[in-house]
Amino acid sequence: MAKVHELLATGPTLSFEFWPPRDEQRFARVLDELGSLRPDFVSVTYGAAGSTRDRTHDLVASLQAASYLAVAHVCCAAHRRQDLVDLLDRYRSEGIENVLALRGDPPLDAAGALPEGELRFASELVELVRAVGSFSIGVAVHPEGHPDCGGALDVDLDRAAAKLREADYAITQFFFRVEDYLRLVDGLAARGVDKPVVPGIMPIDRIGQVTRMAEMSGATIPAEVHSRLEAARSDPDEVRRIGVEVATELAQKLQAEDVPGLHFYTMNRSASVLSVCANLGIGAVP
């Protein structure tokens, strides 16, 4: 199997993010449909406070066995260092060489807080992953700044640059304005970091879901998009059509900027992603 940073060096990539499914049959259909687009790699999320650790591992392993290049999300929040080493050793022994190193969501209450000395930041996790084995390491970056930075974009850029210097590439949180991505890349370049930054795109499929996720991630839904969605709230098909249109326009603008790839947050659904990719000349709508 290849490593993600090696693929990024050869040309633009197409990739999808999944999460461990509750409905295995439905997910099998989604995977079959999106698999027809021959993605360069797929990634698998890791639940809050490690709540899906085993299910994430099992899905990564099954995707790899099915000849997908699978990237395992690994989060340091709520885990001890040795637990992380054991997990990484397990992946390495199974031939999985691609990891997305994330801080992840911390425990929700004081009773679950980690003791002093455990990993607190993704940058520390990157160092640990590098020490454990020869992984291709990705990190997450936020075009509009991490929510914890409270709008201090320079502070967030400093942290993102420090993290990416030690990693091999980055994937962004989803966003809706190409200007936010370009500002991020320019800010990293000004700090001497020019490693690949793959833009993340999430086609809007459901208003409530994307609104909640945007609030959690620090992403902003542009006012004109928000007003169009609100006007169509009672018509799910129109909401999806608008979401496909917005995502297509963003992807086209990104392609014009020669981005290193496109990474789609699929939400374990295929229809909107298939439509966007068809609009881009990638595959076709069934």
As annotated, the active-site residues are 17
Alpha-carbon span 257 to 156, nearest angstrom? 23
Distance CA 89, CA 22 (A): 27
Contact 61, 1 (CB under 8 A): no
Block residue for tokens 């509009």:
144
Task: Please tell me the distance from the alpha carbon of residue 105 to that of residue 47, in angstroms, as a whole number.
Answer: 8
**Bridge partners for 41 per DSSP:** 15
Degrees, nearest 5: CA angle 245-247-250:
110
Task: Name residue 194's amino acid.
Answer: D
- Which residue type is seen at 265? Y
Of 76, 127, 81, nearest in space to 106 by CA: 76
* Structure tokens that stand for 68 in this block: 């997908």
What are the backbone dihedrals phi and psi of residue 259, each rounded to the nearest 5 degrees, phi first? -70, 155
CA–CA separation, 178 and 142 (whole Å): 13
In eight-state DSSP terms, residue 44 is E
Q: Shortest CA distance to 37 belongs to which of 67, 15, 61, 69?
A: 15
Asked if residue 64 lies in contact with residue 72, where contact means CB atoms within 8 angstroms, the answer is no
Alpha carbons 32 and 115: distance in angstroms, whole number:
43
Which phi and psi angles does 146 have, rounded to 5°?
-65, 140
